[in-house]
Amino acid sequence: MTSKRLTGLMGGCLAIAVLIAVVTLTDGRGRSAAGPPSQPDVAPAVAVLAPQGSTDPVPSTAGLARVLGPLMREPALGGRVAAAVVDPLTGRLLYGEAQDQPMTPASSAKVLTAVAALRVLGPDRTLPTRVVQGPTRDQITLVGGGDPSLTAQPKPETPYPAPARLPDLAAATAARLREAGVSAVRLTYDDSLFTGPQVSPEWDDGYTVANVAPVTALMVDQGRRQPGERLRRSGDLAESAAKTFAGLLAQHGIRVTSTSRGPAAAGAPTLAEVHSPPVSGLVEHMLSASDNDYAEALARHVARAKGEEASFAGAVRAIRAVLGELGVPTAGLTLYDASGLSRQDRVSAETLARTLALAASPDHPELRAAVTGLPVAGFTGTLDSRFGGEAASALGYVRAKTGTLTGVNSLTGLVRDASGRLVVFAFIADRVPAAYRDTLAPAALDEMAAAVARCGC
């Protein structure tokens, strides 16, 4: 192990220790439901795995071709494989093979969503869920703010970042109602922030059973009847959230006489509100857990910020526009969703690599959560059980977003090579034999990432 790699590993361990101390000793980042909302404690964006100076040698195209070329011919990857390796400090494409070929990215597409959300919304923004006064004193409206983290569960012991909690909203609402002498209300709920179909016609049948919820601006615990379960999501997620809220109000002595869908009155005063973690925290969770619900919700907020309708179509137009504004090549980019679930999505390896390279560059600290949210090889998120065998040399060094669909495996991430240079890579294989999707194909991509890490060439 080189001295630079050892120093990087020790620095990473120190960063983890500091993070654990911060999580243990500080409060969560969510806002209080009672009274005026307080600002979440959001640390300023700082460089994480930022590129070092130009004194670290850049890997050569020939060297990368020597180590990656044979690995791209691995039979388990099938007949079509693309690769791009980019230097985030200079923006140079260091290696490419079929790098401009639009291919099915699977969940690697979430890298695009992450960068668009951080760029347009900013890392510190939070998403509110509110209760507003209705036209009469005994009518209130629960207004969905498109927060995918909203939960009815007890407060976690170490909330990082703390999700908005429906019980807190109910408690604060009940307190305001009691102050006004109101003990019974008619409850309406407003989920109109997002528009268009809730389920993409491009998704396979059955996706909404386990992989993703119908996209709505108002849901609690991602629409699951039992939190933590993947299966059996509620039918009408907004209605389910409203009924849960009504039950919570009852626990505080407020009787709900009726529940119905309806728009909030324009300019209605807010009785109480809770706020999501900052966008940076939402992005980190989305990438680490490959959370489809978070991806689709964040993309609709990007659409609204860019003046598009908050729908599938508006979201993908907005993401493409943001990438273009950042100078990312978008030739051949075709998206039907923000999560990568559609088999019709097409993204080139170079588009993925250059998008992540922006987040890793010193020029865009606002995008840093797109790096810090990436799973760590062998330790966190969707990479917690990856990088065994020949790829084990990269354990703890590689950060990368995985992508998996039937016939598709992808890996988009970054690593410091043996010379200490930070490089970004994107690998896509979208004709993977079915028998290898969950075994040999991801292992082959892991070995490609490990080869880049070992290279120093």
Query: Tokens representing 448?
Result: 């490609």
Answer for the pair 128, 241: CB distance below 8 angstroms, yes or no.
Answer: no
- Of 108, 290, 339, 393, the catalytic one is 290
Return the CATH number at 144. 3.50.80.20
Residues 6+ apart with CB under 8 A from 17: none
Nearest to 203 by CA among 294, 285, 106, 333: 106
- Characterize the bridge pairing of strands 184-190 and 255-261: parallel
Instruction: Identify the H or E element spanning 279.
Output: helix 279-289
Residues 92, 427, 301, 336, CA torsion sign: positive
Residue-wise pLDDT for 134-146, tens only, equals 999 999 999 999 9
Last residue of a domain, one of 250, 276, 302: 276
**What DSSP line would sit under 74-116, residue for residue?**
-GGGBS-EEEEEE-TTT--EEEEESTTS-B--GGGGHHHHHHH
Nearest to 432 by CA among 103, 69, 81: 81
Question: Given a cut of 80, is residue 18 above it in pLDDT?
Answer: no
Last residue of a domain, one of 229, 253, 276: 276
**Angle at which helices 440-455 and 61-72 cross, to 10°:** 160
- Characterize the bridge pairing of strands 184-190 and 139-143: parallel
* Statement to judge: residues 159 and 221 lie in one domain: yes
* Statement to judge: residues 293 and 266 lie in one domain: no
- Of 110, 280, 339, 361, the catalytic one is 110
In a domain, 66, yes or no: yes
Return the CATH number at 328. 3.40.710.10
Q: Give the largest Cα separation in the chain, rounded.
A: 77
Judge residue 306's burial from the number of C-beta atoms within 10 Å of its C-beta, 0-12 exposed, 13-18 middle, 19 or more buried: middle
Domain total for the chain? 2
In a domain, 46, yes or no: no
- Characterize the bridge pairing of strands 184-190 and 408-416: unpaired
* Statement to judge: residues 334 and 265 lie in one domain: no
In a domain, 412, yes or no: yes
* Statement to judge: residues 137 and 225 lie in one domain: yes
Residue-wise pLDDT for 275-294, tens only, equals 999 999 999 999 999 999 99
Nearest to 349 by CA among 60, 68, 85, 58: 85
* Statement to judge: residues 249 and 265 lie in one domain: yes
Residue 290: predicted pLDDT: 98
Answer for the pair 111, 256: CB distance below 8 angstroms, yes or no.
Answer: no
In a domain, 38, yes or no: no
In a domain, 59, yes or no: yes
Residue 378: predicted pLDDT: 97
Last residue of a domain, one of 210, 243, 276: 276
Bigger pLDDT: 19 vs 41:
41
Report the DSSP beta bridge partners of residue 273. 130
Q: Which residue type does 137 have?
A: R
* Statement to judge: residues 238 and 349 lie in one domain: no
Number of H helices, E strands in the chain: 12, 10
* Statement to judge: residues 189 and 271 lie in one domain: yes
pLDDT class for 155, splitting at 50, 70, 90?
confident
* Statement to judge: residues 139 and 243 lie in one domain: yes
Question: Given a cut of 70, is residue 47 above it in pLDDT?
Answer: no
* Statement to judge: residues 339 and 257 lie in one domain: no
In a domain, 177, yes or no: yes
Among 76-80, 199-203, 435-439, the minimum mean pLDDT is found in: 435-439
Instruction: Identify the H or E element spanning 132.
Output: strand 128-133
Q: What percent of the chain has pLDDT over 90?
A: 81
Judge residue 185's burial from the number of C-beta atoms within 10 Å of its C-beta, 0-12 exposed, 13-18 middle, 19 or more buried: buried
Residue 29: predicted pLDDT: 32
Structural domain including 183 reads 128-276
Query: Tokens representing 334?
Result: 């075709």
Tally of CA atoms within 13 A in the half-sphere of 48 that contains its CB: 21
* Statement to judge: residues 165 and 305 lie in one domain: no
- Of 107, 311, 348, 393, the catalytic one is 107
Q: Among this protein's residues, is 290 annotated catalytic?
A: yes
Region 210-237 average pLDDT = 87
Residue 54: predicted pLDDT: 58
In a domain, 30, yes or no: no
Residue 49: predicted pLDDT: 53
Q: How many CB atoms lie within 10 A of CB 313?
A: 16
**What DSSP line would sit under 1-59, residue for residue?**
--HHHHHHHHHHHHHHHHHHHHHHHS--SPPPSSSSPPPP--PPP--SS----TTSPPP
* Statement to judge: residues 263 and 369 lie in one domain: no
Report the DSSP beta bridge partners of residue 103. 347
Q: In whole angstroms, give the CA distance from residue 266 to residue 133.
A: 10
Query: Tokens representing 381?
Result: 């998120």
Q: Among this protein's residues, is 280 annotated catalytic?
A: no
* Statement to judge: residues 271 and 376 lie in one domain: no
**C-alpha 90: how far from chain center:** 26
Q: Among this protein's residues, is 342 annotated catalytic?
A: no
Q: How many CB atoms lie within 10 A of CB 269?
A: 8
Residue 226: predicted pLDDT: 76
Residue-wise pLDDT for 194-204, tens only, equals 999 999 999 99
pLDDT class for 26, splitting at 50, 70, 90?
very low
Residue 231: predicted pLDDT: 73
Q: In whole angstroms, give the CA distance from residue 454 to residue 443.
A: 16
